[in-house]
Structure 1
Amino acid sequence: MKQLIISAVICAICGISAAQVPVSLKAAVDTALKNNLLVKNEQLKAQYQQLLINTATALPKTNILADAGQINSIYTDTKFGITQNFSLPKVYSSQKELLQQEWKSSLLNVAVKKALLKKQVEQLFYTMVYVEQKKQLLQYLDSLYTSFYKKAALRLEKGESNLLEKVSAETQLGQIHIQQQQLQQDVAVLQLQFQLLLNTTTLFVPEPQPVKMELAATADTTKLKEHATMQLIQQQEQIALASIAVEKSKLLPDLLAGYSNTSIKGTGADNKIYGSGKRFNAIQIGIGIPLFAKAQKEKINSAKFSRQIAAHNYTAGMQNIQSEYEAAVAQYNKYKQTVQYFETAALKNASLITSTANLQLANGSINYLEWVQLINQSVVVKSDYTEAIKNLNESIIQLNYFNNQ
């Protein structure tokens, strides 16, 4: 089933190859940042957290009371009242600060998702560039060994060579065709992954450009603190501090304000007789004191531990990202030296081997099997160079990710 799906995708891509749209790396990254559903989801979460800030001053429900009966005397009286509980302004400001810090955390989480998405798009983009280079190398080999096979078949027909020469050429050509088929499947899978990251139905392909990336910035460990991941981890400590402030504010007294309206039938304290039409007003003010605060104090201590955990997470995160950064620098230097070796020596030697082998074959100094061995040696060098470029690009992408580039 998987093979059928991949084959169908290959046919679909080949069938509408004319609809493929070349895209630059910057345009691909911009499209992904605009369309990617995971990023959009994080942005929605940030908007949700921002809206929650307005809930910091939410008040408890207002109590509306109504009494009827023998409230003041044998006569039936009625009483209506309304009460409202409040917290001190410090409580609301602490709650607002906590919600603001949580909103900042959600914004930083968006930045983390964007940085990771940018890295993924770059990796996939240059993987597609790498596959195109492999495709061109296989096409060169296919042309080379197809010519070799025709000549070997003709030489065998004329009796100028034995069967081994033809079989060798046929085997080499068969292996090349298998690699081309596998590469075509790889292209189909990469195309699907690229469309998924960009969240588009357009068949974008990398536009022609240098296959080797350039490092956007020199190594600078001071920038690691500015990385979105580290800022997000550090923000957890700010949230913990705000949580401590909220829990402490809950030890402050609560306030209560109320108003009541009642009737008093019969003779009042002033020796006057009042009926049900006469209403009397009263204002109520109260204060709620946290006499039993042990549990709340434990919550404060718990929040303090959360701050310590956040601080330790930041320290561990810095150690981890510094280690990864140093490893990425080491990888970059290693692959840079490898690429330089290929460009200064190995590729020139490979070209010399190819030209010399062709010349000696034409002069009759070597036979076809010897020629095949020399050509394979030259091709291996070119293939290894393509792999070295791929590894160098990946190390540069990783360094750019750490440098916020």
Structure 2
Amino acid sequence: MNSRIKQLYLVPALVVGVMSWTAGQGAQSYLRAAVDIAAANFAGLERDRLAVAQQRQLATSGLPMQATQLFFSGEEFNFEGQSGVQSFNIQQNFYLPKAAKAQRSYYEQGAALAEGHLVLTGQELKRQVAQAFYRLQYARQAQALAAESVLLHQDFLQLTTAQLERGESGKIPQLAARSRLAMAQLEQEKVDLQHQTAFALFNEWLQTDTLYDAKGELPFEPQSTATTGLAGNPHLQLLQAQQALAEAGVETQKAQLLPQINSGLRLQNAFGDFPLFGYQLGINVPI
């Protein structure tokens, strides 16, 4: 597995040049690189980007054209002879400009709401990656401490064994050292398992074929993903976008109940005379 592991600071697309970092600065740099990798592979962000693009595209189209009506009609028609008026009709209704403007505003508010979801998705992804990164760092350092503890207890066991062989002490110190070494080894196995779990979870968030390890040293001050102040809070902005979308939806419904322009064209056969033309122009008023 180690041959497949790459450290984040070796990724050429994310780190340019050689810089001297303190432990805290280095850890934050690696964390930013991890977030960039996760963001490039996270399907949730792509879903929200597509939703934003769709709403923006709809905003450019405005209201869809109403269906064109094609039909035949007849007046004073006599089946026994060529009499009456027969017409082939084309009829089309048009929304007033205000209705199209209201619909465009509705789609724009939909795009704003989709952008709010995109921001929240990115923030949640950053929080989850940071949490997995810190957990892996902690597990890695705990693993190193556990290994040092095993080495110390091995040295202590060797010392007590040598003292026993020279007759400088009895068997109790050696037995105590052996017992403590066994406990340290059990703790090391536990910590190794925790590290493997943290390592797997961290790479699960990155979603790449390459396995990455977290670098940098604890302690350092983690960067908070929370937004200070109500004005820039993405949760509040999302609620405001939802409210604006609902209000725009009401205005859209009102606009569609406005009078509509009614127009039509007729191709007629009137008492044997063909072709004749007719037209109609008016306003549809909701009652």
TM-score (norm 1): 0.60
Residue aligned with 1:161, SS: coil
- Say if 2:36 is the partner of 1:30: yes
Superposed CA offset, 1:81-111 (max 9, x none)? 1001222111111111111101111112111
Structure 1 distance, partners of 2:189, 2:113, is: 47
- Displacement of 1:227 in angstroms is 2.5
Conserved 8 A contact 1:37-1:199:
no
Q: 1:99 to 1:178 in 2, by over 3 A?
A: same
Other-structure match for 2:20: none
Q: 1:114 to 1:210 in 2, by over 3 A?
A: same
Residue aligned with 2:49, SS: helix
Other-structure match for 2:218: 211
Structure 1 distance, partners of 2:155, 2:222, is: 41
Higher strand share: 2
Residue aligned with 1:201, SS: coil
Root-mean-square deviation (CA), in Å? 2.5
Question: Is the deviation greater in 72-81 or in 225-234?
Answer: 72-81
- Displacement of 1:46 in angstroms is 2.1
- Say if 2:183 is the partner of 1:183: no
Structure 2, unmatched stretches of 5+, are 9-29
Q: Which protein has greater RCO, CA pairs closer than 8 Å, 6+ apart?
A: 2
Conserved 8 A contact 1:39-1:113:
yes
Structure 2 distance, partners of 1:221, 1:69, is: 74
Superposed CA offset, 1:182-204 (max 9, x none)? 22222222222222211211111
- Displacement of 1:69 in angstroms is 8.2
Percent identity between matched residues is 25
Q: 1:106 to 1:81 in 2, by over 3 A?
A: same
**Counterpart AA for 2:2:** S
Other-structure match for 1:287: 283
From 98, 104, 110, give the equivalent of 2:112.
104
TM alignment of 1:257-268, pairs within 5 A:
257-265=263-271
Other-structure match for 1:147: 155
Conserved 8 A contact 2:262-2:283:
yes
Other-structure match for 1:295: none
Other-structure match for 1:244: 250
Other-structure match for 1:321: none
- Say if 2:137 is the partner of 1:129: yes
Structure 1 distance, partners of 2:2, 2:209, is: 13
Conserved 8 A contact 2:150-2:188:
no
**Counterpart AA for 2:206:** L
**Counterpart AA for 1:51:** Q
- Displacement of 1:63 in angstroms is 0.5
Q: How many residues align?
A: 263
- Displacement of 1:287 in angstroms is 2.2
Conserved 8 A contact 1:195-1:201:
no
- Say if 2:45 is the partner of 1:39: yes
**Counterpart AA for 1:211:** L
Structure 1, unmatched stretches of 5+, are 1-15, 266-274, 292-405
Higher helix share: 1
- Displacement of 1:122 in angstroms is 1.7
**Counterpart AA for 2:235:** T
**Counterpart AA for 2:192:** Q
**Counterpart AA for 2:148:** Y
Structure 2 distance, partners of 1:151, 1:41, is: 63
